[in-house]
Amino acid sequence: MEFRCIPQDLASALGAWAGDTLVVGLFASGDSNREDPRRQVLTNLFGGELLGRLEQRQFTAKPGESISIERLGASPQTLILVGLGEAAEFDLAGIRMASAVGARAACAAGAQDLGLCLPTEGLGAGAAARAMAEAVRLSLFQDQRFKSKAEPKALPNQVSLMGLDSAHQACFAAVDATCAGVELARQLVAAPPNVATPQHLADTAAQIAQAYGLELKVLERGDCEALGMGAFLGVAQGSDLPPKFIHLTYRPSGPAQRKVALVGKGLTFDSGGYNLKTAGSQIEMMKYDMGGSAAVLGAARSIAQLQPAGVEVHFIVASCENMINGSAVHPGDIVTASNGKTIEINNTDAEGRLTLADALVYACKLEPDVVVDLATLTGACLIALGEEIAGLWSSSDGLAEALVHAGEAGGEALWRMPLRPSYKQGLKSPVADMKNTGPRPGGSITAALFLQDFVSPNLAWAHLDIAGTVWSDKERGLDPAGATGFGVRTLVQWIEQGAATAT
């Protein structure tokens, strides 16, 4: 799939264009939008009957709405109208949605040479071009690796963004790098737990390192023992698969002004351990519990390709399974993390924070300017924010704001949640320094407070709970049903912007 921009004003761009399928966005036909010049252009090109036909078929141009019109013997042979809603409310999220809806309809119609004609006024043409191209590519992504007979739908060869200056084509390199990272993350999350093992994550990191010249260190169980990672290894000890502690490093060719560490939860399967996940807890979905590490490795893939200047990035994943055997942790076991803190494991199903504890201590020893972790950490976050919004906790207002902005730029929603110190009471243990699980109310907040104990004081740190957002039951926006690749676009946008934090 090749992207290009076709400049000129709309009427002449469309008049001269010879592709087979054209997607045109229309604002809702409220009185204030009657004068939409795009309606006039359509009438001039396709005749006065077109708008009447839309009315007859009750196309009201609401966001997400689309209508396909086949035109035998005419060019373009398929005309697809997509709704944009009210002009005053149209934004970057709107252009993404319209691009995805249009691309899917075009693909269903067998488009080879696709034109996309959406209004970019007021959005910033560069940001709009990037949003449109990412939406087309990500909404048409297919994954049939595990079908014995793959039958992929044909994708368009060429996608033209109409009415955009060719100077904006420069963004397509970033689009390709970003989408490749999102696609890798989706593939890692979608792969079953008998394929996506800790070894598989280490192999994936090795492929990225090899392809782009990144540095890779994989710590084996013995190496982790030597570093005193009793929390991570406690989780890993119930599995027949060896744990892998993955540390991938991107160094810019010039000097680095900032050093960033990205840490991802990498539980390739979470059975819950002896606090076994019971009926209704979606144990069969728990391959998704490495979604944080998928986002981190996906971002590594993107950043390795983009080669941003001025920023050194460390990608860290403490990967293992949470399983049950004779040597698995008992509920009640006390483990010692690599910073010396002791933890009473009152719930073996709150294992993610145990693995992250040692990963965060390791990340902080690298003395970065900022640490961001991503994890499918708590069911409570899914309850609080649903499937479209990730929870964000941060010790730094500047970092929190920068990540929310990066999310907006990339099309991922984050909502800041409080690190209320008094809730730490819930993690008090009578026998150890802390318990790993607090009470059910505010469960995602106590989880974040637990992690904070393993981050160096005064270091800018943010935690993203992506338990609700890495998997989608149904097709939604740019996401297909299944793995979304959530987190990659936020991380890539943030790193591209220099990962700067106003502290």
Which residues are part of the catalytic machinery?
A: 277, 353
Binding partner selected for residue 282 from Zn ion, ligand 4TL, none, CB under the kind-specific 5 to 8 Å limit: ligand 4TL
Half-sphere exposure of 3 (CA within 13 A, CB side): 25
Applying CB under 6 A, the residues found at the interface with ligand 4TL are 270, 281-282, 347, 349-352, 376-380, 382, 437, 443, 467-468
- Say if residues 224 and 180 touch (Cβ distance below 8 Å): no
**Min separation Cβ 373 and ligand 4TL, Å:** 14
Least distance between ligand 4TL and beta carbon 292 (Å):
11
Single out the residue of 230, 352, 368, 480 in contact with Zn ion (rule: CB under 5 A): 352
Q: Of all helices (H) and strands (E), which one includes residue 463?
A: strand 460-465
In DSSP terms, which residues pair with 261 in a beta bridge? 314, 371
Least gap, CB of 192 to ligand 4TL (angstroms): 17
Q: Which residue has the tokens 């320094």?
A: 433
CB of 467 to ligand 4TL, least distance (A): 4
CB-nearer residue toward Zn ion: 321 or 496: 321
Q: Which is nearer to ligand 4TL, 99 or 446 (CB)?
A: 446
Residue 344 within binding range of Zn ion, rule CB under 5 A: no
Interacting stretch for Zn ion, rule CB under 5 A, among 10-18, 348-356, 423-431, 487-495? 348-356
User: Do the strands 215-219 and 244-250 form a parallel or antiparallel pair, or are they unpaired?
Assistant: antiparallel
Residue 312 binds what, of ligand 4TL, Zn ion, none (CB under 5 to 8 Å, by partner type)?
none
Among 321, 349, 465, 496, binds Zn ion (CB under 5 A): 349
338: left (phi over 0), alpha (psi -120 to 50) or beta: alpha
Site size for Zn ion, by CB under 5 A? 6
Structure letter (DSSP) for residue 419: -
The nearest distance, CB 273 to Zn ion, in angstroms, is 7
Between 267 and 382, name the residue whose CB sits nearer to Zn ion. 267
**Residue 258 contacts residue 498 (beta carbons within 8 Å):** yes
Residue 465 interacts with, from ligand 4TL, Zn ion, none (CB under 5-8 Å by kind):
none
* Angstrom distance (rounded) from CA 300 to CA 81: 37
Dihedral, 148, 197, 292, 303 alpha carbons, nearest 10: -80
Please, which residues have CB within 8 angstroms of residue 360's CB and are 6 or more apart in sequence? 263, 371, 373, 451, 454, 455, 461
Side-chain-side CA neighbours of 364 within 13 Å: the count stands at: 20
Q: 199 or 347, CB closer to ligand 4TL?
A: 347
Q: Does residue number 373 form part of the binding site for Zn ion (CB under 5 A)?
A: no
Closest by CA to 282, choosing from 115, 91, 473, is 473
Nearer to ligand 4TL, 437 or 484 (CB): 437
Taking alpha carbons only, the member of 353, 395, 357 closest to residue 375 is: 353
Minimum CB distance to ligand 4TL smaller for 38 or for 265: 265
487, 292 contact by CB (below 8 A): yes
Region binding Zn ion by CB under 5 A among candidate stretches 40-48, 189-197, 341-349, 363-371: 341-349
Q: With binding defined as CB under 5 A, does residue 193 bind Zn ion?
A: no
- Among ligand 4TL, Zn ion, none, what does residue 379 contact (CB within 5–8 Å per kind)? ligand 4TL
Q: How far is the CB of 420 from ligand 4TL (least distance, A)?
A: 17
Q: Beta strands of 220-354 (E only): which ranges? A: 244-250, 258-270, 311-322, 334-336, 342-344
Question: Considering beta carbons, is residue 139 or 378 the nearer one to ligand 4TL?
Answer: 378
Q: Which stretch binds Zn ion (CB under 5 A): 5-13, 37-45, 121-129, 346-354?
A: 346-354
Q: Which does 443 bind (CB under 5 to 8 A by kind): ligand 4TL, Zn ion, none?
A: ligand 4TL
Residues 6+ apart with CB under 8 A from 417: 384, 391, 392, 393, 444, 445, 448
Interacting residues with Zn ion between 274 and 303 (CB under 5 A): 289
Rg (CA), the chain: 24
465 binds Zn ion (CB under 5 A): no
User: In angstroms, how far is CA 431 from the centroid of its own chain?
Assistant: 39
Under rule CB under 5 A, residue 270 binds Zn ion: yes
H or E segment at 83?
strand 78-83
Q: For residues 100 and 116, what is the distance between their CA atoms, to the nearest angstrom?
A: 11
Q: Does residue 181 come out as left (phi exceeding 0), alpha (psi in the -120 to 50 range) or beta?
A: alpha
Question: Residue from 267, 299, 316, 337 that binds Zn ion (CB under 5 A)?
Answer: 267
134 binds Zn ion (CB under 5 A): no
Residue with the CB atom nearest ligand 4TL in the bound state: 379
For the bound state, the minimum distance from the C-beta of residue 280 to ligand 4TL, rounded and expressed in Å, comes to 7
Least distance in angstroms from the C-beta of 17 to Zn ion: 50
Residues found near Zn ion in the complex (CB under 5 A): 267, 270, 289, 349, 351-352
